[in-house]
Structure 1
Amino acid sequence: MLVGAAVGAAPVAVAHAERWPIKVTQRHQADVPKPGTTSAANRRLQKDLSALGYFTGPWNGYYGPDMAQAMFAVQKVNGLRTDARWSEEVERKIRRGFVPVARSTSGDLVEVDIGRQLLMVVRNGKVVKVFNTSSGNGKPYGGGKIANTPRGVFTVQRQVNKMEKSPLGLLYRPKYFSGGYAIHGSGRVPPKPASHGCVRVSYEAMNWLWKTNSLPVGGRVWIY
């Protein structure tokens, strides 16, 4: 397998989040987003989160797995319990409009914040899309190996535009940045470290990364 190497350092931002001035939809008590349902309230929440850069999947009003991933992300950014459920507290945080701050200051790249388990698409120092992610869980596996995700600045070495079978499982449309480590789609992306070292995002998130060419071969990945 091709091996990706760290390609340099980048300046570190002092803040973890910044505020975006957006107008958030007013809600009534009986008109609130609910998991497992399809409603106008859910669609408004999808639009509000998308305005802040959180990836929600299609604006179809369905509060399903894609919305759960977006809620995980916004809860992480705001230091809330990650249960993927809407609440008045989550609503207040959304109204304040806080989004993550990039560490990089120029160029196009993907940043992975291991501490908060977030993946961010960054363009010229501005976070334009935020995803829930799940990285290495730090546990031993396979005869003494440890499930850690490598830190550093890497480039995408190769990519596979299909479901690929690896020794550790199935990787959906993987983009390899260091040996067998990849950013890839998965059917299970909890709000905590759970992989053998790869960086997981949802299937729809991976489709978006491919469709928008946000992480091409040669593209940078900064993991910290």
Structure 2
Amino acid sequence: MSIRGMAALAAGCFLPLLAAAPALADELPQGDPGVQTDTGVPAVTVPDVMPEPAVETAPEPVKQVRAVKGARAGKIVLRPGDRGDTVRQLQRRLHDGGFYFGQANGIYDEQTRYAVWGFHKSRGMVPRGEVGPKTWTALRRSKGLRPLVPQGGADRIEISLTHQLLTIYRDNRPVLVTHVSTGAEVQYCEKGHCGNAVTPVGDFRVTRKAPGWTTGLLGSMFNSLYFVGGIAMHGSTEVPLRPASHGCVRIPLSTSVRVFNMVKEGEPVYVRGQI
């Protein structure tokens, strides 16, 4: 393992994580994330900071957007907070492409914005919340992703630190692509614990699954998939565009449910930086 990877291991990021695309709505976690704990987690492991989930509310005023078809659909501009049938149409298209796994509720909420970010990054576009003509055009076109590890196995997980994307392959086909936030690559000292916030680069396997909310020294996390020491992929309420974790791979909550259900222990995990 590289020095970079060993530094991340020392940080002890104890985070829980986060199908062709089946049902559109997965069940989201409910209640206080600090209630449930994973009794099998060693006391020395440390999780990323994960604030308690906040209730999402659409900003005011809310724009109602009707569904339209044909050329007119490509002219509509959607933004976070919008509601209506056209937002539902966006959610369904993102779902069909393997980017969105929340409810097709017609509300441009935070989970929808995360999916839009993931789609933009997968197409080489600047990730933005706004969905305009270029995004609608890209959604109508199929485009294959360039694999990080073409010979990595038919079923595998690839994580790009450069693009902050996680992709799940089944039968050598990408079936789930999500925006993520990885290690901030800085030294930190919080609550008496110091370490290096680095996500290790290398070839790994999922070693353990921890369902539900678990709590550690630095906070709580949801649906953890550990792949090297105390470092895991996990659901989080905060998945910013910048690398911001203590070393783990943060995934949007609704997507983390799907990831956790489809990934098995022992599955290969490939983490790559600059390519």
- Scaled by the length of structure 1, the TM-score of the pair is 0.80
Structure whose alpha-carbon radius of gyration is higher: 2
3-state SS of 1:66 partner: helix
What do residues 170-191 of structure 1 show as CA deviations (whole Å, max 9, x unaligned)?
A: 1212111111100011000012
Unaligned runs of at least 5 residues, structure 1: 6-24
| 8 Å contact kept, 2:80–2:110 | no
| 8 Å contact kept, 2:165–2:177 | yes
- Which amino acid is 1:155 matched to? R
Percent of paired sites with the same residue: 29
* Residue equivalent to 1:127: 174
Q: Which consecutive segments of 4 or more residues in structure 1 shift more than 4 A?
A: 29-32
C-alpha distance in 2 between matches for 1:183 and 1:110: 11
Q: Which of 68, 86, 96 is 2:113 aligned to?
A: 68
Number of aligned positions between the proteins = 199
What do residues 35-66 of structure 1 show as CA deviations (whole Å, max 9, x unaligned)?
A: 21321101111122222221242222221111
C-alpha distance in 2 between matches for 1:108 and 1:43: 30
C-alpha distance in 1 between matches for 2:244 and 2:132: 26
What do residues 108-159 of structure 1 show as CA deviations (whole Å, max 9, x unaligned)?
A: 1111111100011101221111111000011111376321101112111112
| 8 Å contact kept, 1:77–1:98 | no
Does 2:72 align with 1:28? Answer: yes
Unaligned runs of at least 5 residues, structure 2: 6-68
**Residues 141 and 41 of structure 1: is their aligned pair in 2 closer, same or farther, counting only changes over 3 Å?**
same
C-alpha distance in 2 between matches for 1:161 and 1:145: 26
Q: Which has the higher contact order (CA 8 A, sep 6+)?
A: 2
User: Shift in Å at residue 99 of structure 1?
Assistant: 4.5
3-state SS of 1:162 partner: strand
**Residues 99 and 61 of structure 1: is their aligned pair in 2 closer, same or farther, counting only changes over 3 Å?**
farther
| 8 Å contact kept, 2:102–2:255 | yes
What do residues 197-217 of structure 1 show as CA deviations (whole Å, max 9, x unaligned)?
A: 000001111111223xx2222
* Residue equivalent to 1:114: 161
- Which amino acid is 1:28 matched to? R
